[in-house]
Structure 1
Amino acid sequence: MVSSYKNSIGFKINQTANRINNRFNEVLNQYDIAPEQRATLEIIKTDKNTNQKEIASILGKNKTTISRSLKALEKKGFIKRVEIKEDKRVNIIELTQKGEEVLKESAKSVAQFRQNLSLNLQEEEIKQLFSLLDKVYKNIKETF
């Protein structure tokens, strides 16, 4: 029996992700930054020696997509690329003062948004949700 899209796990996850992303875009619009760009800034702040390849891996995006995102962040003055003397093919990406400021300015809005995502969910339900999503992720990684 072929199920309809409404009964598809992928459809439901994608539908939910799209709603989250659209609402998060609205929240971050006032800071002139997209959700993926803000996530990139958080990664750069957390991992001082990160590079494009590592960011792509963490976000589950391809190198071209991350390259475009980094160029946009660089154009906005939020990041800078620093060449490694030992290997000129590799650049370390650093936050600029402006990048630090946008993270700080948007932190309260982001924290509130993240908190709102878990409204009406118990701690055990959140753990279960993460566990289920990890299983789906593993299924995709192992079977496709």
Structure 2
Amino acid sequence: MSYMLKDSIGYRINLVATTLKTNFTKLLRPSFGIAAEQFATLKIISEDNEVTQTQIAELLGKDKTTVGRSIDSLLKKGLLAREDIENDRRANRIFLTPKAENILGSAIPLAQKFNETVKSRLSKEEIETFFRVLDTILEESKNMKIKKGDIK
């Protein structure tokens, strides 16, 4: 049995994810000056203004350092603001600025259209099955026990 990269689930998922992220960024950047992952960060914060950097990292599947850099970039662009939390000098809250709220208001319809276009050749049942399969793959990969370069 030979291993072919094109038959790897991880390779195929990554190829699709990278292509989607690149194309969505091409759609967002000219009008809004943000990339796909920055849009996702803003959207997450808009849905839960108590979300932490750690939670954002988990939701995006990124490490905290990468998310921290993204948040710093959004702060510099004036899309996020930060305020200290009373009684905890180490913690602070990040929230959307009005500029970010305006961007999201205009970008969300683009995101919806982009998503609809990507799914346009799939039936509702195919999409539901696809999401179930992805959830199963995600759960299995999170539960994998890897020790000394081997899978247990």
TM-score, normalization by structure 2:
0.91
Q: Distance in 2 between matches of 1:92 and 1:50?
A: 8
Write the distance in 2 (CA, Å) between the matches of 1:10 and 1:51.
28
Cα drift, residue 15 of structure 1:
0.8
Quote how far apart the aligned CAs of 1:8 are.
0.8
Show the counterpart of 1:86: 87
Q: Secondary structure of the residue that 2:90 maps to in structure 1?
A: coil
| Superimposed CA distance per residue, residues 15-47 of structure 1 (whole angstroms, 9 cap, x where no aligned partner) | 111111111111111210011100110111110
Aligned residue for 2:13? 13
SS of 1:90 mapped into structure 2: strand
Q: How far apart are residue 58 of structure 1 and its match?
A: 1.1
Contact 1:51 1:90 in 2 (8 A): no
Task: Give 1:124 deviation, angstroms.
Answer: 0.9
Give the 4+ runs in structure 1 shifted more than 6 A. none
Tell me if structure 2 keeps the 8 A contact 1:28–1:106.
yes
What code does the residue aligned with 2:57 have? A
Structure 1 window deviating more from structure 2 (65-74 vs 16-25): it is: 16-25
- CA displacement at 1:86 relative to structure 2: 2.3
Note the aligned Cα RMSD (angstroms): 1.0
- Count of aligned positions: 144
Give the equivalent residue in structure 2 for 1:32.
Answer: 33
Match of 1:2, SS state, is coil
For residues 1-144 of structure 1, what are the structure 2 equivalents within 5 Å? 1-30=1-30, 31-143=32-144, 144=146
Unaligned runs of 5+ in 2: 147-152
* Offset at residue 120 of structure 1 (A): 1.1
